[in-house]
Amino acid sequence: MRNQGVGLAYSLIAYKNTLMGLDKIKPNLEKINAELEDHWEVLAEAIQVVLRKVGYPKPYEKLKELTRGQTMDKKSIRDFISSLDIPKTEKEKLLKLTPSTYVGLSAKLTSLI
């Protein structure tokens, strides 16, 4: 029973030191934004969801054909979206997306935690 205090004290010290270490970590926003700008293929999920919503035939295969093994840029994604035979409103929504603005359901999913 008398050894429980030692274990709890070490746990408290470890917890405080972990928090101090985490306070020193800062995200490199320039690097994050550069990575996002270089990888427009992250929008493939949003495009696939919209294609499924409007009943487009084989949306996964269509996007796989476009993105598999390739790095997509803004122009190639926008050209692909513009070429789709989908309602104009859906096309406009997709064209407004950027890798830094698309978060999918993450806000909704994290609010459940």
Q: What is the pLDDT of residues 8-41, one digit of tens each?
A: 999 999 999 999 999 999 999 999 999 989 989 8
d(CA 35, CA 82): 24
Q: Helix, strand or coil for residue 28?
A: coil
Of the candidates 47, 32, 107, 57, the one whose C-alpha atom is nearest the C-alpha of residue 81 is: 47
Name the CATH code of domain 32-108 (choices 3.40.50.1580, 2.120.10.60, 3.40.50.720, 1.10.40.30): 1.10.40.30
Tokens coding 34? 């550069």
d(CA 1, CA 101): 54
The stretch 50-55 carries a mean pLDDT of 93
d(CA 65, CA 60): 9
Which of the pair, 50 or 1, is modelled with greater confidence? Answer: 50
Quick check: 67 pLDDT over 90? no
User: pLDDT averaged over the chain?
Assistant: 90
The stretch 38-55 carries a mean pLDDT of 91
Query: What is the pTM for the complete model shown?
Result: 0.70
Q: Note the pLDDT of residue 113.
A: 65
Q: Note the pLDDT of residue 12.
A: 96
> 44-53 and 59-67 helices cross at what angle (nearest 10)?
160
Quick check: 88 pLDDT over 90? yes
Of the candidates 27, 91, 108, 26, the one whose C-alpha atom is nearest the C-alpha of residue 54 is: 91
